[in-house]
Amino acid sequence: MTGLSNMTERKNLWPWLLLTPLAVFLVVFFVVPLIDVAVMSFTEPRLTFANYERALTGTLYQKVFINTFLTAGFVTLCCLLVGYPLAYLMSVSSQRTAMLILLLVTMSFWTSFLVRTYAWMVLLGTNGPLVWLFQAVGITNPPQLLFTRFSSTLAMVHILAPYMIMNIYSVMRKIDPVLVRSAESLGARGGSLLRHVYLPLTAPGIANGCVLVFVICLGFYVTPVLLGSPREQMIAGLIGTQLDEFLAFGMGSALAMVLLVFTMVILTIYHRHFGLDKLWG
Amino acid sequence: MTRFMKWLGVVVVIFIAAPLVIVVPMSFSTARSLQFPPPGYGLGYYQAYFSDPSWLIPTWNSIIIATATTVLTMLLVVPATFALVRHQFRGRSIADLMMLMPLAVPSIVMAVGYYSYFGAMGIVHTHIGVVLAHTALAVPIAFLVLSANLKGFDRTLERAAMSLGASPTKTFIHVTLPILRPGLIISALFAFIHSFDETVVSIFISGRNAETLPRKMFDSIRQEADPVIAVISTLLFALVLLGLVGPRLVAALRNRRPRVQAA
């Protein structure tokens, strides 16, 4: 009897033994730095709520928050508008074509954010191909493309679209073609086919893609900083400036906490409905 | 409508491909600065990259840091994944969720934390600091890949080995590990790539001493847009292509061999 209870006890100890090194590591090198941010937001430069007061009521900060949300929403919408037709094209193409497109999308996905941001810089630059194309068509005075809201939005859509495409394609290719054909035989055409067959069946993929793109975009640092207009910053860029230029750890931390809370609220809602492990899986 | 969607899809293909394609010819340009179309083609930028320590040192730093990150991540994640997938215990679902948290927190938030925390510990701007931060961030990715593999693992194989007299250790080494190898390799590869590509945290904590390639690229793009970046982009791009097509090519060649012998 005692032997048996000993064994079950040992069995129960095993998982904890295996888990402890990682748990300790994550506490020391993930949780504590995060708590440090929370603490700094109240204590830098001294014990105060002033950082949050400024972060939430200052006109500059409010403008940046609103700009960030609008940009993230717009980028998500664009990714959907770009991703859906491509996923559709893949699902109706021959297997070979679908594979090639998928290869292209995966290639883009695995190419670093920096490389893709740089590529847009090359494409839109003053001596770049697009300006050259403008001049070839006869537009001698092309508009400024680089370092505007346009260039950063375009690049963000390009960088985040693969997330959307892969999510939608993964559900779209599971749609039974018989279902589509029977809908067509019952008279569903074009728009109604899309609305009544495709959209409902791909809704989970759309939800996944949108949440993922929106959340990544909210905290996007690299592309808006490199390609955007300095006058239209997003939150992450503003946090960076607080650290880099002003060494204002308190203000930077308060902004970081606000960004963290927004992100967590969205992810919590997602988790309630779908389970967070599905988002990246 | 459906035909319209198809054409839109074709346009999107061009949109996705264009930026990836344009960088390659630019890297072979002979122009002083970026210019399209290139006035001539040569290997000047490549020579510049491979002879400039200010590019080679960050490249080397990134390789070292990513390797160390991969080793550390796997040492921590492999046992933990076994615990989380194979054992039932109280608090497991919370532990599962905690493993994903580093992926959920925006990098810039962690950058603020590491900057101050590692500063207090005296390891900001060191290789060790970057490795520790990258490991924390790579944990969820390695875990997701490995746990998916482990969940699909057929445990009757282990039971069969043990019923034939193999000890648990022997079973683990001769049955479990070989079957799990592809999952382990991919998981490690993902951890490596994650560290090698990681930009935001590196920008703030790697400093001059442990400067990573993405940090150097970021600074360079921000300041002068050195055309050498086109070279690095092309090289990275080639690596990705190799990584995606390579295994398939090897498999195709392997499949062909017996057929050739038969003929």
Same domain assignment for residues A78 and A140: yes
State whether A73 and A164 are in the same domain. yes
pTM given for the model: 0.92
Q: Tokens 């203000």 appear where?
A: A251
Together in a domain, A7 and A99: no
* Closest C-alpha to A198, from A48, A67, A85: A85
Q: Are residues A108 and A28 in the same domain?
A: no
Residue-range definition of the domain harbouring residue B128: 66-216
**What residues have CB less than 8 Å from A21, skipping those under 6 apart?**
B75, B76, B79, B80
- CB within 8 Å of chain B, chain A residues 113-132: 113-123, 125, 127-129, 131-132
| Local structure of residue B29 (DSSP, 8 states) | B
* Average confidence (pLDDT) over A110-130: 90
**pLDDT, greater one: B184 or A133:** B184
- Taking an 8 Å cut-off on Cβ atoms, the answer to whether B117 and A123 are in contact is no
Residue that wins the pLDDT comparison between A130 and A38: A38
Find the domain containing A38 and state its range. Answer: 1-43
B19: contact with A, CB 8 A cutoff: yes
Which of B22, B80, B112 is closest, CB to CB, to A252?
A: B112
Residue A50 lies in a domain: no
In a domain, A51, yes or no: no
Domain count, chain B: 1
Same domain, A167 and A272: yes
**Does residue A113 belong to any structural domain of this protein?**
yes
Is A105 in the B-facing interface, judged by CB distances under 8 Å?
yes
Asked if A252 contacts A236 with a C-beta cutoff of 8 angstroms, the reply is: no
pLDDT recorded at residue A161: 97
Task: Give domain status of residue A38, yes or no.
Answer: yes
Shortest distance between the Cα of B164 and any Cα of chain A, in A, equals 23
Cβ atoms of residues B64 and B127 within 8 Å: yes
What is the tens place of the pLDDT at every residue in B124-134? Answer: 999 999 999 99
For residues A218 and A262, state if they share a domain. yes
Is B18 within the bounds of a domain?
Answer: no
Q: Which residue of B has its CA nearest to A161?
A: B16
Q: Return residues 189-208 of A near B (CB < 8 Å).
A: 189-191, 193-194
- Predicted confidence (pLDDT) at residue A10 exceeds the cutoff of 70: no
Same domain, A82 and A23: no
Q: Are residues A245 and A107 in the same domain?
A: yes
The band of A30, judged by pLDDT with boundaries at 50, 70 and 90, is very high
Q: Tell me what ipTM this predicted complex has.
A: 0.91
Query: What is the percent of chain B with per-residue pLDDT over 90, rounded to a whole number?
Result: 70
Which residues of B are less than 8 Å from A22 in CB distance? Answer: 76-77, 79-80, 99, 139
What pLDDT was estimated at residue B260?
47
For the domain that residue B152 is a member of, what is the CATH number?
1.10.3720.10
**Cβ <8 Å between A104 and B16:** yes
Q: Which helix (H) or strand (E) holds A16?
A: helix A2-26
Q: Is residue A48 part of a domain?
A: no
- Residues on chain B touching A107 (C-beta within 8 angstroms): 20, 237, 240-241, 244
Are A1 and A64 in the same domain?
Answer: no
Q: How many domains does chain A have?
A: 2
Residues A173 and A256 in one domain: yes
| B109 contacts A51 by C-beta, under 8 angstroms | no
